[in-house]
Amino acid sequence: MSLLRVCVSAKCLSRRSVFAKCAVRVSPAERFRLFVSTRDGGVRRISETPLQLQRINLSLKILKRVDAKERVVEQSQLLEGTSSSRVLKARIQQLQPDGVLDVHHANVQFVKAPSSGRGLLSGMGSKEAPKEKTDVPKYAIKAKSKASRWMEKLTLEKKKNKLRTEEHLRQKYVKEKPSAKSTRSKSSSALPGTSYKVISNAAPSVKARPRPKLSEQICTAVSSAEAVHKGSKEKQNASAKEGKRRAEDQADAMEMEKSLNLLVAQWTLADNPQRPDGDGEEAAACGNIEPGLRSYLEALVFAGDVDRAHEFLLSQHRVRRRRKLLTTDFYNIMMRLWAKKGRLNQISCIFILLEEAGLKANLGSYCCALECMGRNPDCQRKLITRTLRQMEEDGLSVDDLFRHCVFRQDERDMVLKAVRAAQRNYKPPLQASAAQYPSLVQEFYSQRADHRYPKLDFTQEELQEHFGQQLRLEQNCTVTIDSVEAAKPVTDDMAKMRKLLADHRAQWQKVLLEALRESKRILANTDPKNYRLNLYPYLCVLEDREYVDIMIQSVASLPPSGESLKILGKDLGLRVYTKYCVQQKQQNQVVEKLRRIYGAYTELLAKDTKECALLPSEYWGKLEREQSSGPSLQRGETHWPFIVSLELGIYMVDMMVKNMKINSDVLNPALARKLIPILYHMYTFRNMRQVGFIKPHPILTQMQQDATESKLTFDTYVMPMLCPPLPWTSVKFGAYLLTPSKLMRTVDGATQHEVLLEQCRNLLPVLDSLNQLGNCAWIINKPLLDIIISIFNDRGSDKLDIPPPMSEAPKIPHFNAQDPAYTSAEKAHMKRDVIDVKKKCSEMHSLRMDALYKLSIANHMRDEVFWFPHNMDFRGRTYPCPPYFNHLGSDVTRALLLFAEGKPLGPKGLDWLKIHLVNLTGLKKRSSLEGRLEYANAIMEDALDSADHPLDGNKWWMNADEPWQALGCCMEIADAVRSPDPTNFISHFPIHQDGSCNGLQHYAALGRDVIGARSVNLMPSKMPQDVYSGVAQQVEEFRLRDAKSGMKVARVLKGFISRKVVKQTVMTVVYGVTRFGGRLQIEKRLKEIEDFPKEHVWDASHYLVRLVFSSLKEMFTGTREIQDWLTDCARLISKSGHTVEWVTPLGLPIIQPYHRTRNQSLKSSLQLINLQISHDVKERPDTVKQKNAFPPNFIHSLDSTHMMLTALHCYSAGLTFVSVHDCFWTHALTVDTMNKICREQFVALHSQPILRELSNFLLQKHCTRFHPEAKNKKYQEHRKLMLLLANVPHTGDFDLQQVKESTFFFS
């Protein structure tokens, strides 16, 4: 850093003599610290002004007054101390010399040029500092020699205390005896870990003894705790047989602890490559303020307000408490700006600011400096050489600069130009860093001889054309489509109302435009030197008209019942941020480079190109390295913090409420004319909390309903893509072309997930599985769409899940609350009726608009081929990015989707279509595949009638569980059987294979539970096992037993216990449902039974939930043990102050974002918004949420891992594959192949020691620091946690290989 200061010292530093600065009156203790050193002929001088030195001198005098008080305290310590070590410490403090103490507290900085080039040094220095001769006062040396005797005594005393502590612990464990009777506490009933009181008569010895090994301490604790848990069985006169058994148990524990000790030793000495750095929480905690400052400064720079940006940086730097929040990247933003302008002197000044802030230049800093040198044709080669040498001394290489820096526009070319000026033959590295693959997929990536990656059914030219269409859409950020309601004939009233709305919108645009400009003028007048932030830069990143368009669009989509101010504000802020990111990429010249690389990427996907043995992420990375010139495609912009987006959105809502008005007589000329707002801010109660709402005026609602507008406007990111998505190659790149997209869905404002992902180095299998899901092309089932639209535009159908129009909504009753004719009871009843009707109308409108959006998008895409980009939640479960229309939706949306690529049915394809039809009806779940096929043939006449006459035939399809998918399947079967050769019929219809209670399947496999495995079809059988019916049968047996004993509720339930009553509770128990939640589920099912006596619902639900849990405990013993172990682990980890983290077998790091809720207030002119933040890593973990969520989240991470493994291997086999969590889809031709892969990957997954690896990971993260000399309570908690984590539940005898032969595992 000193080199840059030297080269422009004449421009950026004061010309006063450095000796003039030293002429200020300072004490002798300071003067020896202030000196000037030279390097390469350049003078490096101290940066303090005379005023600063005067302040330092004054502070020294104040500190000397304080020292007198400190000496009194030290003397009192000598008098009061009872411990010899405390006396020694106090004596050493008393011997500290005044002069040295003063200099230390003053913390005077001085400029020094050591050989390492590390910048400023302060204080007395460390042992690692360069050895240079320094004028140290003699009294400091004498003080050091005086204190050495006392330091030796203190060290000796500490050593003696340590030996006493170790001897005490050894005696404690050796002499500890189990009590005659012991009771388990509620918190530790599953595993040992309780402390016991021990009386020892052994006197502590001062003789040095070796410290007990970790394994010995744990092993002794394990054996003693196990002995206590034997209870009354263990007495002093125990038999020899019992003693032998205890010895065997102790030997087993010893063996376990030996391996544990070995692992802990390895973890202590070296980092585990599979484990990501555990600093996610700390990094997030330190960085939750700085991104807001960075985004503010970036917005100023993007808007071109250079002076305000420069003043803002200085204002943050001047205030010490705010300077501590800054990072090097914050300063780099301004460096990048000055580098574009070729202002090397300004960059040098920012380097000086970095030194003053105690920060170190990083790759981005040197990148800006080299870029600036590359832009200056007169830059000397000697200066570039010195800069590169300084980089190397700071531990940074030029290769790292080209590997890790995110370049914009021509920055990379300028940096390369500067480097080649000093190193003429330098070539940037093109080789990709070696990827680390988890052992589970090591063979998949290393052995590819048999891989046959599928091609899309498009030519390269067609794919490039699709890319151009998608690029134009994303550049516009919005898309306007026809509504499916547009098919209605336009009446005169509709035309009149549409014109009236258009006129008012034009007027509102003018008013909002003027109001926005006025508010920006007011905000711009704030002092830029003030470090307080406002919204001004965020209101300048777009054109004024773009903000207005966003506001007008939000009014058009506002529901009649209104929207929460928080939700509306968040939506507006997100739209502004999306447009800002798109324009950033356009300004950074990303579009042209993206077009070139995507054009070459289509060679991998197109059917008219040669095959390639690379996966999409690998091929894209290869293309990026080959075309490295120009901007980086990796996302480099700073995320706007959630609070910023929300505040910006609320500011825009406030502007809308105040300025958008309409005449009160617009619909009724008889009324008096006055201007009234079209939006109202009001309050309502939700979940006992007061919530601010923005509600449209009834006049506006009436106008929109009467207009029945024929156009709908959507943001681009809610629409399916018109080209294959960008492959995920890193955490920051993938999915949409320009629209910002996150790899992991998180709670608004949570950053710990992204921190963990960026630290992870082996995410490629996860990314490749997302790419495989996103590369599946789709088309619309047009005949089915037309039928659905016809019903939608008629009156809808509740039975077929098509919402009716608002004309079918019940009328809101009106009554006069002041009318004395009504009694108070009647008034209360009528008020409840009004509330119920309003709630019903609101629900009908929401459902109607949701269906309108889905059907309009499907109708817009009816002649297109489209794709769904995918991302995942924090557990690894995958989701399509478009929120409205996708294959994870309802029966209606799933029925509308077909594979774009068709494949012949083959010899078994037609049979799979028929079996799939029976599965959709839900009628033969307990039948074999042969039985289902036989039933399908028996109902073939009804199926064909449904296909030919869906609305005017016998309507058999309407009685199916999934009616619309059943109708689509009937149409596909009809086309196939009527074709000349059904085996050659090209089918686009997806066939589903669903897991049999998938969560319990994973639990049974983890515990190798034979009974549980049989219940969830992990074992081969002729007929499918239905776990829900099994539980219902077990509950009925318990009920019969209780009914015979005279229990009333058991008798009432006779004939009412069915599969349907217990299914939801059984399904959700595995995902952490409590008895309270299970009781509510059963209560709801009982209320649906018409004949069940309603007065017994409460007692019956309490009774049944108890029986369901008892039945599951008997049927799935291994499951309950594992679930309890996971719960206890999470409870103790969270109580120790940490959140629960783990890594999936595919290498995905997961952290649970549940912390204690804190309230944060956001002030606005409309209202004070209270935000409840439950993901703040600075708060302690929420123990209840952590322990309740860990078992279901862990199982979800396993089922997502199984899905990803299946996706990867299906892709290598050339299959089309998509999933809805634990429901896998493929063509009828390839169902058998997919089933084989699915079973093989489940076995491969659970053949890994999953629970043991989880135990090792948690032990490594939370138990590597083992302190037996710590305080008793803390030590006992630590020991209890270690014992629990090490005691992995035992497994049964189930043979996993049987899964491969199980027909009904997925069926």
Bin 1152: left if φ > 0, else alpha if -120 < ψ < 50, else beta.
beta
The average pLDDT across 356-360 equals 91
Lowest mean pLDDT among 320-324, 460-464, 815-819, 1179-1183: 815-819
Tokens 């707002």 locate to 677
**What b/e readout covers 649-669, taking b as 16+ CB neighbours within 10 angstroms?**
bbbbbbbbbbbbbbeeebeee
Evaluate if residue 518 carries a pLDDT over 80: yes
Question: By the 8 A CB rule, do 352 and 12 touch?
Answer: yes
For residue 531, give both structure tokens: 């470090």
Q: What are phi and psi of 1169, to 5 degrees?
A: -95, 125
Q: How far apart are CA 1244 and CA 297, in angstroms?
A: 50
Residue 1201: how many other CB atoms lie within 10 Å: 26
DSSP string for residues in 179-221: -S-----GGGSSS----------PPP--S--PPPPHHHHHHHH
Residue of 457, 715, 994, 1232 marked catalytic: 994
pLDDT in tens, 61-96: 334 444 444 444 444 443 344 444 444 444 444 444
Q: What is the pLDDT of residues 438-466, one digit of tens each?
A: 889 999 998 888 888 889 989 999 999 99
The answer to whether 784 touches 967, Cβ cutoff 8 Å, is: yes
The answer on pLDDT for 801 being more than 50 is yes
Q: Report the distance separating Cα 33 and Cα 485, nearest Å.
A: 82
User: What is the band of 8 on the pLDDT scale with cuts at 50, 70, 90?
Assistant: very low
Angle formed by the axes of helices 98-106 and 138-175, nearest 10° = 80
Residue 749's pLDDT band (cuts 50, 70, 90): confident
Q: Please state the pTM of the whole predicted model.
A: 0.78
Evaluate whether 574 touches 883 at the Cβ level (below 8 Å). no
Kindly state the tokens that stand for 528.
């830029």
Q: How far apart are CA 222 and CA 1268, in angstroms?
A: 15
Tens digit of pLDDT for each residue in 1138-1163?
999 999 999 999 999 999 988 888 88
Angstrom distance (rounded) from CA 1303 to CA 1307:
7
Asked whether residue 146 carries a pLDDT value surpassing 80, the answer given is no
**End-to-end CA distance of the chain, in Å?**
66
Q: Are 872 and 851 in contact (CB under 8 A)?
A: no
Q: Residues 840-857: pLDDT tens digits? A: 888 888 899 999 999 999
Average pLDDT in the chain: 79
Answer whether 1289's CB lies under 8 Å from 1118's CB. Answer: yes
Q: Tell me the backbone φ, ψ of residue 1172, rounded to 5 degrees.
A: -95, 105
The residue whose two tokens read 């941020």 is: 577
What gap in Å lies between CA 418 and CA 384, rounded to an integer?
Answer: 7
Residue type, 1199: D
Residue 994 annotated to the active site: yes
- Tens digit of pLDDT for each residue in 1008-1058? 988 888 989 999 998 988 888 888 888 888 889 888 888 888 888 888 888
Q: Can you read off the two tokens belonging to residue 417?
A: 């130009």
Write the Ramachandran bin of 168: left for phi over 0, alpha for psi from -120 to 50, otherwise beta: alpha
Residue 39 has pLDDT above 50, yes or no: no
Work out the pLDDT band at 996, boundaries 50, 70, 90: confident
pLDDT range class, residue 737, cuts 50, 70, 90: very high
H or E element, residue 329: helix 328-341
Q: What does the pLDDT look like over 580-627, one tens digit per residue?
A: 999 999 999 899 999 999 999 999 999 988 888 899 999 999 999 888
The type of residue at 105 is H
What is the pLDDT at residue 114?
Answer: 37
Question: CA 1245 to CA 1255: how far, in whole Å?
Answer: 17
Q: In whole angstroms, give the CA distance from residue 725 to residue 738.
A: 11
Mean pLDDT of 460-481: 93
Confidence class for position 149, pLDDT limits 50, 70, 90:
low
Percent pLDDT > 90 in the chain is: 44
Name the packing angle between helices 290-303 and 306-318 (round to 10°): 160
On the question of pLDDT at 297 being above 50, the answer is: yes
Q: Where are the beta strands (DSSP E) in 1008-1157?
A: 1141-1143, 1149-1151
pLDDT for the residue numbered 764? 92
Bridge-based pairing of strands 679-686 and 689-696 is antiparallel
Q: How many CB atoms lie within 10 A of CB 275?
A: 16
Rounded to whole angstroms, how far apart are CA atoms 714 and 849? Answer: 13
Residue 662 pLDDT class (50, 70, 90 cuts): very high
Higher-confidence residue of 185 and 863: namely: 863
SS3 content of the chain, % helix, strand, coil (to 5): 55, 10, 35
pLDDT band at 248 (very low <50, low <70, confident <90, very high): low
904: pLDDT confidence band, cut at 50, 70 and 90?
very high
Q: Residue 323: which H helix or E strand, with range?
A: helix 320-323
Measured CA to CA, the distance from residue 602 to residue 609 in angstroms comes to 9
Q: Is residue 507 within 8 Å of residue 878, measured between CB atoms? A: no
Q: Which residue has the tokens 């002794």?
A: 220
User: How do residues 422-432 score in pLDDT, each as one tens digit?
Assistant: 998 898 887 66
- Residues 585, 924, 1063, 1185: which is the catalytic one? 1063
Backbone angles phi, psi at 1003, to 5 degrees: -65, -45
Could you tell me if 691 and 685 are in contact, meaning their C-beta atoms sit under 8 angstroms apart?
A: yes
Chain-centroid distance, C-alpha 292: 19
Nearest C-alpha neighbor of 1070 from the set 1132, 1119, 1125: 1119
pLDDT exceeds cutoff 70 at 322 = yes
pLDDT of residue 120: 30
- Spatial separation of the C-alpha atoms in residues 369 and 1180, rounded to whole Å: 42
Q: Which two tokens stand for residue 1151?
A: 């952290």
Q: Is 527 a catalytic residue?
A: no
CA separation for the pair 784, 786 (Å, rounded): 5
Q: What is the pLDDT of residue 353?
A: 93
Query: Reading across the β-sheet that carries 679-686, which strands appear in turn?
Result: 563-564, 689-696, 679-686
Q: Which stretches of 201-276 are DSSP H helices? A: 214-228, 240-269
According to the model, what pLDDT value does residue 1300 have?
Answer: 93
Catalytic member of 549, 654, 1222, 1261: 1222
Query: What DSSP designation does 1300 have?
Result: G
CB 1159 within 8 A of CB 1169: no
Contacts 24+ apart (CB under 8 A), 445-450: 445/764, 445/765, 448/613, 448/1212, 450/1212
- Which residues have CB under 8 Å from 1090's CB, separation 6+? none
Using the Cα atoms of residue 1173, residue 1179, residue 1184 and residue 1187 in order, give the sign of their dihedral: positive
Q: Say what the pLDDT of residue 247 is.
A: 63
